[in-house]
Amino acid sequence: MSDSTSDTRPGSVCHLEWFINSRCDYTCRRCVPEASVQDKPDLGLEACAEALYSFVSFAEETARDAHITFYPRQAEFTDPFLTILDTVRDLKTRGLVKHVACAIRGDVPSDKIKLFRNAQVDALRLTIDGPEAVQDELRRRGSFQDTLAAMREARDSGILVIPLVILVEHNAPHVVDTMRMMLDEGFDRLVLQVGIRGDVGGAGTLAGHHPDPESPWNQLLLASEYRAVLVEALNFLDSVRDRHEEFRTRFILANPMYARLLFELGRAREYDQLAAAQARASVLPFALKPDGAVVAQQQLPEIGAFPGGSFKKMFETFHPLRWFRGATQQDDYMAVKQSAFGKCSSCPVRSHCKPMLVGVQDRRLFYHPDVHCWVGEGAVDSGQA
């Protein structure tokens, strides 16, 4: 799924996803507590500052806009996050950081919203699961109202709110209700993150790795069920098109399987027109883990570490990153990977659909057709739209 924090304006961006604290209060039942426990301790403030300045210098030297998305812990915020956030605000004032976002569970308390506002955070990605009864059953009683309060407060503080729905079987029937509710509240974005059952189940998603097999967060959709969700959402978007054209366009383009769906519905031209109007930035991705390890994407091997690391050196020495240096190079690289898959090489929407990175071995990268794709899964309803 696209991330709205990596926006679509022209130009070059380097985007750091910063998992700045490993420790958590473990109250988010979706999460896997063991995954938060690591051998090495979290980076201290000095090493975090070193990583930040290395990233900002690299962006400046290569004429890229520096974007940072923090994933702070749910428990009380502490250093190094607090001091780093202050430093980033100063760097933003000097034009050295262009965009700052935080991704966090939706029921974030008021004091943290104030802190984000004072730190001049541009965007907050907040999870919401659906209508009140649906969300409270998945999380806890009161979770929905707390989330709504946080979203309103953040929006009223001038922060762009990006609601994020992690879609599993439990909340999939309520997607349209959730979209309608968010639009009624005045939020004009909504991001879906979808777990799919299958051989590479959950690849590229957050869901599907809970240790309890009975957990609702483990009840993933089939690709054909995801298709049905997209059809429902499209019918709704068509019905509100006159009032919410931008939301509609953004939603369709953020979910790449709409290219295939619109083709199947005889509306391929419509998708082509929407995609052609979209100016795409080239985004060079990095992720910094709490213990200082740097990867280009979650599944890729470590390419460097702090303290002592250098983003410039990592870029120069880790070959696959060269493919991310521009939008054209990225497209060429993905087209070569995609041509290895039978169903994709004959697919009429292949130019809109990128394969997904699912693993790495001996520095070789392994790709898979988009895991959300229903082509070849068996007969699917043509749907109405």
Choices 16-24, 101-109, 242-250, 341-349 (CB under 6 A): range interacting with ligand SF4: 341-349
Identify whether the C-beta of residue 269 lies closer than 8 Å to the C-beta of residue 291.
no
> If binding is defined by CB under 6 A, does position 375 make contact with ligand SF4?
yes
| Subset of 132-171 contacting ligand SF4 (CB under 6 A) | none
Q: Determine the Cα–Cα distance for residues 7 and 278; give it in Å rounded to an integer.
A: 11
Host H or E run for residue 167: strand 160-167
Binding test (CB under 6 A) with ligand SF4, winner from 16, 293, 294, 344: 344
Which one among 220, 253, 347, 357 touches ligand SF4, defined by CB under 6 A?
Answer: 347
Considering only 373, 377, 378, 383, the residue that binds ligand SF4 (CB under 6 A) is: 373
Q: Which is nearer to ligand SF4, 50 or 264 (CB)?
A: 264
Q: How far is the CB of 318 from ligand SF4 (least distance, A)?
A: 27
Q: How far apart are CA 68 and CA 50, in angstroms?
A: 15
Dist CA 220 CA 168 (whole Å): 5
**Cβ 344 to ligand SF4, closest distance in Å?**
3
Give the residue with the Cβ less far from ligand SF4, 137 or 377.
377
* Between 66 and 344, CB nearer to ligand SF4: 344
Minimum CB–partner distance for residue 266 and ligand SF4 (Å): 16
Tell whether residue 66 is a contact of ligand SF4 (CB under 6 A). no
Q: Which stretch binds ligand SF4 (CB under 6 A): 30-38, 58-66, 200-208, 346-354?
A: 346-354
Residue 370 engages ligand SF4 in binding (rule: CB under 6 A): yes
Stretch that binds ligand SF4, among 1-9, 10-18, 275-283, 347-355 (CB under 6 A): 347-355
| 141: Cβ contacts below 8 Å, ≥ 6 apart | none
Residue from 154, 191, 229, 349 in contact with ligand SF4 (CB under 6 A): 349
Which sign does the torsion angle of CA 313, 316, 318, 321 carry?
positive
Q: ω into residue 301 within 30 of 0, thus cis?
A: no
> What is the β-pairing status of strands 99-104 and 364-368?
unpaired
Q: Does 353 bind ligand SF4 (CB under 6 A)?
A: yes
Shortest reach from residue 370's CB to ligand SF4, in Å: 4
Of 9, 141, 322, 343, which lies in the binding site for ligand SF4, with binding defined by CB under 6 A? 343
* Nearest-angstrom CA–CA distance, 283 and 327: 8
Q: Which helix (H) or strand (E) holds 275?
A: helix 268-276
Q: With beta carbons less than 8 A apart as the criterion, state whether 189 and 2 touch.
A: no
Please check whether residue 231 is in contact with residue 261, taking contact to mean a CB–CB distance below 8 angstroms: yes
Task: Find, among 231, 274, 268, the residue nearest to 347 by Cα.
Answer: 268
Interface with ligand SF4 (CB under 6 A), residue from 115, 350, 357, 365: 350
Least distance to ligand SF4 from the beta carbon of 271, Å? 11
Near ligand SF4 by CB under 6 A, which window of 19-27, 100-108, 323-331, 344-352? 344-352
> How many residues make contact with ligand SF4 (CB under 6 A)?
11
Indicate which single residue of 369, 381, 384, 385 sits in contact with ligand SF4 (rule: CB under 6 A): 369
Taking the least distance from each CB to ligand SF4, the nearer of 139 and 352 is: 352
Region 238-277 residues binding ligand SF4, contact defined as CB under 6 A: 260
Amino acid at 51: A
Query: How big is the chain by its Cα radius of gyration, in Å?
Result: 20
SS3 339: coil
Q: Give Cα separations from 303 to 85, 91, 99 (angstroms).
A: 25, 25, 24
The verdict on 204 binding ligand SF4 (CB under 6 A) reads no
C-beta separation of 179 from 190 below 8 A: yes
Question: What pairs with residue 305 in β-bridges?
Answer: 293
- Residue 20 dihedral angles phi and psi, to the nearest 5°: -85, -20
The residues binding ligand SF4 (CB under 6 A) are 260, 343-344, 347, 349-350, 353, 369-370, 373, 375
